[in-house]
Structure 1
Amino acid sequence: MPAFECFKTVEARPNDAHMLRFWCQYWIIVAMVIAFESLISWVPMYGEIKLAFFVYLWYPKTKGSDVVYDTFLRPIVMQYEPNIEQRLLHLRAKSGQLLSFYVKNCADKGTAFFMDVLHYVVSDKAEGSNLERTDCCYAYS
C-alpha cells in the first residue's frame, strides 16, 4: 500500500511537495526500522508491533510519519549529520577497493571450484572408461 501510494503521488501529483515529503519521511523511517531490525526482532510479538507501527506511519488520520520524523529521527540525524557525511565519504572512497577485493576473491574461488569440478569429471570418465575396457576384455600394456 505505501509503495503504491508513493508511486501514485509521484506520477499523479509531481508538484505536491507536501505528499512527497510525507512519503519520503515514511520510507526513511521504514529503512531505519529495517536497518535496526536485528537488534529488536527478539521482542515478543515484534511482527505485530512492526505492522501496527507501519500502519500508524502511513494512515492518513494519524500522519505518524510526520510525528516520528519530526520528533525523533530528524533531531538525531541533524545532530550527527557531519559525522555521518564524513563516514559516507570515507566509505565511498574505500568502496572501489572493497569491490575490487571481493570481485577478485570471488573470481579466484570460482576458478578453483571450476577446476576442481573439471578434474572430478575428467577423473571420473577416465575411471569409467578403464572399467568398460576391462569388462570388455581389453587390457592396457
Structure 2
Amino acid sequence: MTPEEIARASADAMWSTDRASQHLGMKIEHIAPGQATLTMTVTEEMTNGHENAHGGYIFTLADSAFAFACNSYNAVTVGQQASINYVSPGKLGDVLTATATEASRTGRSGVYDVNVTNQDGRLVAHFRGLSRSIKGNYLPE
C-alpha cells in the first residue's frame, strides 16, 4: 500500500468507531500522511450564552482533525497534550474547517498544528496537539 492508501485505510478504521465525531456531524474532507481536514456545521445546540459557537465544540473539531492526522501511519496514536487559542467567534450556521498538519514526528512523538476557519476563510482558532504512539495498528502488518 502507498502512504496515502495507508492513511485512508487508517482513517476509515478509526472513523468506524468514532461515535463522537459522527454524532456531531463532522465530515472527513481530506486525509494524507500527517494531515487531515474535517468540517462541521455549527448547529443551534452548539451555541453558548453569547450565541457563538461554544469553545468546547471548536476544540472537539480541532481535536478530531488532530487525531486523524496523527493516526495516519497505521500506528495507534493518542493525544498527550493539547491547547487552543480562540481568535474569533464561530457563529450559528458556520461551516467550520479544521486543517491539521504535522509539524514534527520523531520516534513515537508528534507535534500537530490545527487551524480552524469558517466558510469565509476567517481564522476561528489555532490548536496545537502533542501525540504519542502506543501499541497497536489499524491494518494487518
- Using the size of structure 2 for normalisation, the TM-score is 0.25
Which structure has more relative contact order (CA 8 Å, sep 6+)? It is 2
Question: Greater Rg, structure 1 or structure 2?
Answer: 1
Question: Which structure has greater strand proportion?
Answer: 2
Question: Which structure has greater helix proportion?
Answer: 1
